[in-house]
């Protein structure tokens, strides 16, 4: 499927030129001629990349960029009219991924578009593998971070390891021996009741704190982690 690019540019000659060139490259193109319309189109339409002029009527490119960043990580390439360092810095600070100075060579812009789209595809793949989700509970493996409805939960290393194992085995009954083997390791010497203690910690930090019931006890057997949808 063709990737969709939103061009926000008030100079109709440049907008038209970009539209033709991008279509020729096989992209779908949408055009907005002022900042406010650009922002609305970015909100409503599922675009893969935004080319955003800096100087725009109704809302500046910087402001559009800041607002888009509140709801989307879509790649944004900023067009800066002046060869002014401060414009570039402000553009990147506001969340743009890249910038091209006007007048630009179309080949350079096309190359930057390809790079940004490739980077986006890569990061979407990574983030899908990186996360385990159960309702509002999200475990981010790369960052060793757990959140509930966006709020971070502080877990010790063992609590994290235990939760990871439980979430990876969602819906499966796990007995204490299995938890010990997989979370504490085969060489663990000690009471298997340690699992009960850590389950209690997790329940107080997640289930009790947020009024949910992820971790259920299966009497005489062990535990099961169940998604709360």
Contacting positions for Ca ion (CB under 5 A) = 10, 53, 55
Nearest approach, Cβ of residue 205 and Ca ion (Å): 51
Rounded Cα distance between 149 and 37, Å, is 31
* Extended beta strands in the chain, E state: 4-8, 28-32, 49-53, 76-80, 98-101, 131-134, 137-140, 145-148, 151-153, 173-175, 215-218, 222-225
Q: Which residue is nearest to Ca ion (CB)?
A: 55
Backbone angles phi, psi at 225, to 5 degrees: -100, 125
Does residue 72 sit in helix, strand or coil?
coil
- Identity of the residue, 57 or 122, whose beta carbon is nearer to Ca ion in the bound complex: 57
Return the structure tokens found at 10. 């008030």
Return the structure tokens found at 141. 């493996």
Residue with tokens 């390809």: 114
Nearest approach, Cβ of residue 40 and Ca ion (Å): 18
- Identity of the residue, 61 or 222, whose beta carbon is nearer to Ca ion in the bound complex: 61
- Identity of the residue, 10 or 30, whose beta carbon is nearer to Ca ion in the bound complex: 10
- Identity of the residue, 53 or 97, whose beta carbon is nearer to Ca ion in the bound complex: 53
Nearest approach, Cβ of residue 71 and Ca ion (Å): 24
Nearest approach, Cβ of residue 9 and Ca ion (Å): 6
Nearest approach, Cβ of residue 54 and Ca ion (Å): 7
- Identity of the residue, 18 or 199, whose beta carbon is nearer to Ca ion in the bound complex: 18
- Identity of the residue, 12 or 217, whose beta carbon is nearer to Ca ion in the bound complex: 12
- Tell me if 135 sits within 8 A of 185, measured CB to CB: no
Nearest approach, Cβ of residue 132 and Ca ion (Å): 44
Residue with tokens 């959140």: 147
- Tell me if 71 sits within 8 A of 43, measured CB to CB: yes
């Amino acid at each position: 499927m063709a990737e969709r690019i939103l061009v926000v540019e008030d100079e109709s000659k440049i907008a038209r030129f970009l539209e033709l060139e991008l279509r020729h490259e096989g992209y779908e193109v949408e055009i907005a001629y002022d900042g406010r319309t650009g922002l609305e189109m970015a909100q409503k339409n599922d675009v893969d990349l935004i080319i955003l002029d800096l100087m725009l009527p109704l809302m500046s490119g910087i402001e559009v960029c800041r607002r888009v960043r509140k709801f989307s990580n879509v790649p944004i390439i900023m067009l800066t009219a002046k060869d002014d360092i401060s414009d570039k810095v402000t553009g990147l600070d506001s969340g743009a991924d890249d910038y091209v100075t006007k007048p630009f060579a179309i080949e350079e812009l096309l190359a930057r578009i390809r790079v940004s789209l490739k980077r986006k595809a890569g990061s979407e793949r990574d983030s899908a593998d990186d996360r385990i989700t159960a309702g509002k509970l999200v475990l981010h493996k790369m960052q060793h971070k757990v959140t509930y409805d966006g709020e971070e939960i502080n877990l010790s290393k063992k609590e994290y390891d235990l939760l990871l194992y439980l979430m990876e085995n969602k819906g499966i009954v796990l007995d204490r021996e299995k938890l010990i083997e997989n979370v504490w390791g085969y060489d663990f010497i000690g009471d298997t009741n340690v699992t009960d203690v850590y389950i209690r910690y997790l329940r107080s930090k997640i289930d009790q704190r947020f009024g949910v019931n992820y971790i259920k006890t299966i009497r005489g057997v062990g535990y099961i982690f169940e998604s709360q949808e």
